[in-house]
Structure 1
Amino acid sequence: MKLQKQPLLILVICFILGIFFQEKMVLTGIALYLVIVICLIILAAICFHSYFLHKIKAFLLGLLFFGTGIILHFHNTFSADVSSFVKKKETVTFTISQKLNTTEKYKKYEGTAQVGNTTFNSIVYVPKDIKELDFLHYYKAEAYITQPKTPQYDFQFHYARYLRRKHINYQVYLSKEIVSAERDDLTPADKLRQYRFLVLKNIDETGISGKTKEFLKGIILADRTEIDADTVQDFNKSGLVHFLAISGTHIVVIFGMFYFLLIRCIPLKFRKYAVVLSLVFIWLFAAFIGFGNSVLRSCIMLSVYFIFVLLQRKPDLLHSLALSAFFILTGDTQQFFDVGFQLSFLAVLGIFWLNQPLLKYFPKQDNYLKKLLFNTITISLSAQLATLPLVLYYFHQFSFISIVANIVIVPFSEIIIVFSFLMTALISFGIDFELINGIYDFVIQILLKIIHWFAEVDVLFFENIPMNGLEVLSVFMIVYLLRSVILKFNVKNSSRLMMAVVVFLIIRTGSNVFENQREEVLIHTFNKTNIFSIKRGDKACFWISDMENKDKVLQFVVKPYCSSRRINHFELKTFSDSVQKVVFRNESYDLR
Structure 2
Amino acid sequence: MPIISATYYTSYLHNNNLETQTLLAHPEIKQHGTFISFKSHHNHKVVGTIQLNNQHFSFYHYNYGQQKQQKIDLTHFNCHIKGYFHTSKANDVVVIVKQIDVKSCHKDTTKLPNIFNTHKNFIYNQMEKYGGKEYGRVLALLFGDVHLLSVDQLEDVKRIGIYHLLAVSGSHIVSIIIIIQMTCTALRIPIPVIKCLLCIALPCYAFYVDFVPSALRAIISALLIILLPRKILQHPIDILATTFLIVLLLFPAYIYDIGFQFSFLITLFILLGKPLIAKDYPLRTFWHLNIITFLGAFIISAVHFNEIQWVGLIANLFFIPFYTFLLFPLAIVCFLLSHI
Q: Determine if the TM-score, normalized by the shorter chain, exceeds 0.5.
A: yes
Residue of structure 2 in register with 1:410 after alignment? 320
Shift in CA distance, 191/234, structure 1 to aligned 2, threshold 3 Å: same
* TM score, norm. by length of structure 1: 0.51
2:290 equivalent to 1:380: yes
Shift in CA distance, 121/314, structure 1 to aligned 2, threshold 3 Å: closer
Alignment match of 1:290 (pick from 183, 206, 210): 210
2:279 equivalent to 1:357: no
Higher gyration radius (CA): 1
Alignment match of 1:196 (pick from 89, 99, 120): 120
Residue of structure 2 in register with 1:134 after alignment? 74
Alignment match of 2:136 (pick from 209, 214, 230): 214
CA-CA distance at 1:109 after TM superposition:
3.8
Q: 1:131-184 CA distances to partner (integer Å, 9 max, x unpaired)?
A: 36432211113x243x53xxxxxxxxxx46734xx4x37644325655210111
* TM score, norm. by length of structure 2: 0.84
Q: 1:12-46 CA distances to partner (integer Å, 9 max, x unpaired)?
A: xx3xxxxxxxxxxxxxxxxxxxxxxxxxxxxxxxx
Point out where structure 2 has 5 or more consecutive residues left out of the alignment.
none
Residue of structure 2 in register with 1:173 after alignment? 98
2:308 maps to a residue whose letter is: F
Q: 1:387-415 CA distances to partner (integer Å, 9 max, x unpaired)?
A: 20210111122232211111112223123
Give secondary structure in 2 for the equivalent of 1:389. Answer: helix
1:100–1:225 contact (8 Å) kept in structure 2 = no
Q: 1:223-252 CA distances to partner (integer Å, 9 max, x unpaired)?
A: 322212222222111111122221111111
Alignment match of 2:248 (pick from 302, 325, 329): 329
Alignment match of 2:61 (pick from 125, 143, 146): 125
Residue of structure 1 in register with 2:145 after alignment? 223
Shift in CA distance, 377/187, structure 1 to aligned 2, threshold 3 Å: farther
Shift in CA distance, 104/94, structure 1 to aligned 2, threshold 3 Å: same
Alignment match of 2:330 (pick from 419, 423, 442): 419
Superposed CA RMSD in Å reads 3.1
2:79–2:102 contact (8 Å) kept in structure 1 = no
Alignment match of 2:156 (pick from 229, 234, 251): 234
Q: Report the identity percentage.
A: 14
Q: 1:437-476 CA distances to partner (integer Å, 9 max, x unpaired)?
A: xxxxxxxxxxxxxxxxxxxxxxxxxxxxxxxxxxxxxxxx
1:135 maps to a residue whose letter is: T
2:192 equivalent to 1:277: no
Q: Map 1:132-531 onto structure 2 (within 5 A).
A: 133-141=73-81, 143-145=82-84, 147-148=85-86, 159=87, 162-163=90-91, 166=92, 168=93, 171-174=96-99, 179-187=104-112, 190-206=114-130, 208-211=131-134, 213-266=135-188, 270-308=190-228, 310=229, 313=232, 315-358=234-277, 360=279, 362-363=280-281, 371=282, 373-412=283-322, 413-427=324-338, 429-430=339-340
Residue of structure 2 in register with 1:472 after alignment? none
Shift in CA distance, 306/343, structure 1 to aligned 2, threshold 3 Å: same
1:125 maps to a residue whose letter is: H
- Give distance in 1, aligned partners of 2:40 and 2:287: 33
1:137–1:180 contact (8 Å) kept in structure 2 = yes
CA-CA distance at 1:374 after TM superposition:
4.0
Give secondary structure in 1 for the equivalent of 2:74. Answer: coil
CA-CA distance at 1:378 after TM superposition:
2.5
- With 91-100 and 415-424 compared, the bigger mean Cα shift is at 91-100
Q: 1:405-439 CA distances to partner (integer Å, 9 max, x unpaired)?
A: 11112223123222221221121x21xxxxxxxxx
Shift in CA distance, 397/312, structure 1 to aligned 2, threshold 3 Å: same
Q: 1:101-127 CA distances to partner (integer Å, 9 max, x unpaired)?
A: 97988534442225xxx9674645352
1:248–1:295 contact (8 Å) kept in structure 2 = yes
Point out where structure 1 has 5 or more consecutive residues left out of the alignment.
1-10, 15-62, 149-158, 364-370, 431-592
CA-CA distance at 1:326 after TM superposition:
1.6
